[in-house]
Amino acid sequence: MQNANSPVAAGGCVSTDRIDTEIAHSARIYDYIIGGKDHYPADREAGDAMVREWPALPVHMRANRDFMHRAVRHLAEEAGIRQFLDVGSGIPTSPNIHEIAQSAAPGARVVYVDNDPLVLTLSKGLLSPAAEGATAYIEADMRDPASILDSPAFRETLDLDRPVALAVIAIVHFMLDEHDAVGIVRRLLEPLPAGSYLAMSVGTAEFAPDEVGRVAREYAARGMPMRLRTHGEAAEFFTGLDLVEPGIVQVHKWRPDGTGTEVIRDEDIAMYGAVARKPG
């Protein structure tokens, strides 16, 4: 990530008075449920209510984060990707994408994007540039792709003559039909050259419809309506791309590496995950 006072940071310095601590935020709820420390009472109340409705929610969220780790590791170590654009990055939780990518390739470059001012505030400690690589942060809303693609941080950190991995992890379920999530992801992929990748997880209610439906109602009651998708709808995000094996599967089934200690049942997971290559 990039220091907030640097010339490439979007929006300049961020003061904590921009953070509404009275209203729960999806990134902070996620942080609370997976055992983080950067949240407020409203986030904890929301998280507790959601876990009461679906006790497997922490398992589901940890499995989603583990999928992201495996996907980034695959892209850095096996696919040779050296540039990453993480949209909807959320509150920093080690290992972050730049830590995984730069451990495989010290020269890797990473741009993080999120719309929560708290994310930028907490990210300042990660903003020191690596010896060889680079990290940057853009405060922007995914629903406005131009605010990302036209940002100096995007243009100055990533070389669009070389492949980029676009990571869209656990965010599109907060985008309703009128937001055109598929169109937004395609717009973000558009300037990325052939050989780039999309790593994505997509929320679904196909495996625990009652429990996940209740969690969705808790989010909606706090101003965060959700659009959960079927396998067929998840596949629309990857139209025209070449899926990496095993294709679109529940996140815990995407190239498991045997390091997890939790017993995960299919009904504990409400997220599809996949990695796909942009052909050409």
- Residues 175-192: pLDDT tens digits? 999 999 999 999 999 999
For residue 120, is it within any domain?
yes
Query: Cα dihedral angle (16, 20, 21, 26), rounded to 10 degrees?
Result: -110
Considering the chain, what percentage of its residues have pLDDT values greater than 90? 74
Q: Are 25 and 223 in contact (CB under 8 A)?
A: no
For residue 37, is it within any domain?
yes
C-alpha–C-alpha distance, residues 124 and 104, integer Å: 23
* Domains of the chain: total: 1
Look at residue 8 and tell me whether its pLDDT is greater than 70. Answer: no
* Both tokens assigned to 44: 């904890």
For residue 15, the model assigns a pLDDT of 41
Look at residue 99 and tell me whether its pLDDT is greater than 80. Answer: yes
For residue 4, is it within any domain?
no
For residue 9, the model assigns a pLDDT of 30
Look at residue 123 and tell me whether its pLDDT is greater than 90. Answer: no
Closest Cα to residue 257, out of 74, 113, 118, 81?
A: 74
For residue 129, the model assigns a pLDDT of 55
For residue 22, is it within any domain?
yes
Look at residue 198 and tell me whether its pLDDT is greater than 90. Answer: yes
pLDDT-based confidence at 10, cuts 50/70/90? very low
Q: Are 132 and 107 in contact (CB under 8 A)?
A: yes
For residue 6, the model assigns a pLDDT of 26
For residue 8, is it within any domain?
no
Tell me how crowded residue 144 is: count the other CB atoms within 10 A of its CB: 13
For residue 246, is it within any domain?
yes
Give the CATH number, domain containing residue 204. Answer: 3.40.50.150
Phi, psi of 222 (to 5 degrees): -105, 20
For residue 177, is it within any domain?
yes
Q: Which whole-number Å values give the CA distances from 48 to 22, 44, 108, 123, in the listed order?
A: 16, 6, 38, 26
Query: Which residue stretches of the chain are H helix?
Result: 26-33, 41-53, 57-77, 97-104, 117-123, 145-149, 152-157, 181-189, 209-221, 231-235
pLDDT-based confidence at 262, cuts 50/70/90? confident
Q: Which whole-number Å values give the CA distances from 149 to 27, 84, 185, 258, 278, in the listed order?
A: 22, 13, 12, 37, 18
Q: Which whole-number Å values give the CA distances from 157 to 39, 226, 264, in the listed order?
A: 30, 32, 38
Instruction: Give me the mean pLDDT over the 250-276 stretch.
Output: 92
pLDDT tens digits, 141-158: 999 999 999 999 999 999
For residue 3, the model assigns a pLDDT of 28
* 240 phi-psi bin (left φ>0, alpha ψ -120 to 50, beta other): left
The structure tokens 């001012």 sit at: 117
For residue 1, is it within any domain?
no
Look at residue 88 and tell me whether its pLDDT is greater than 80. Answer: yes
pTM of the model: 0.90
Q: Which domain holds residue 220?
A: 16-257+266-277
Q: Which sign does the torsion angle of CA 44, 49, 214, 60 carry?
A: positive
